[in-house]
Amino acid sequence: MSETATDIHAWWPEAAAEWPESDRDRLARLDPERLPAHVAIIMDGNGRWARQRGFMDRIRGHEAGIESVREAARTCAQLRLKALTLYAFSKENWQRPVREVTALMALLTRFLVNERGELMDNDIRLRTVGVPADLPDGARRELEESICLTAGNRGLVLNLALSYGGRDEIVRAARRAMDMARGGELSPEGLDETAFAGLLDTAGLPEPDLLIRTSGEMRVSNFLLWQIAYAEIHVTGVLWPDFRRPQLLEALLDYQRRERRYGRVPNASPEES
């Protein structure tokens, strides 16, 4: 291997040696200096995946999607991203049939137990956004145990959105601000965007640079409404159970083709912008 090739591959994760050539080709086109710090994913299409394969029970799609969660988290950790937030269960999902909700909570509980080795092996720290107090006792206990177990890990933060709604999060943050104001901890003048962001569930994490939605739907579904103000959005028609490393790498490549302006005119002087 030439010195130039060695330099190009120097940042690659060790695991890439085992990746198929097509994924290594995608990796070679990524600029390590322009990777997103935080990726957020709306994991959509589990029910359609199940129906397309003739399954009567939608939960079969959710079960198949566990491998997509595992591969997305592992790949983000290997690429040394800072955070991955997954929209696992929304506030609105409680309105689904009781049988489906019960099955989803059982699946969440099994995931939290079964993936502990994977989290530890990849130095992944688990945290959550939303209202975990809404979860059944068993799921909540396993969530707390996994968060405690991985608290010392220093790699990727895997952030599960559970019983989460973007509007609900903003309202809860506003209530915190009001409580602080009543207690003399916060003045109206002291409540700016930075202070308010510190009251959100995602406090301490960078805002998402990239929002991915699977299954081709063109909406954000009440997900991280404050945080995605300047996120780049990548929509793929691939259903979540079929979303694997190749699709994640393609999303990262798409992200790097974007010009992030934050409302500014590119390459303009302050007088022109």
Residue numbers annotated as active site: 44, 93
Give the number of residues written for the chain: 273
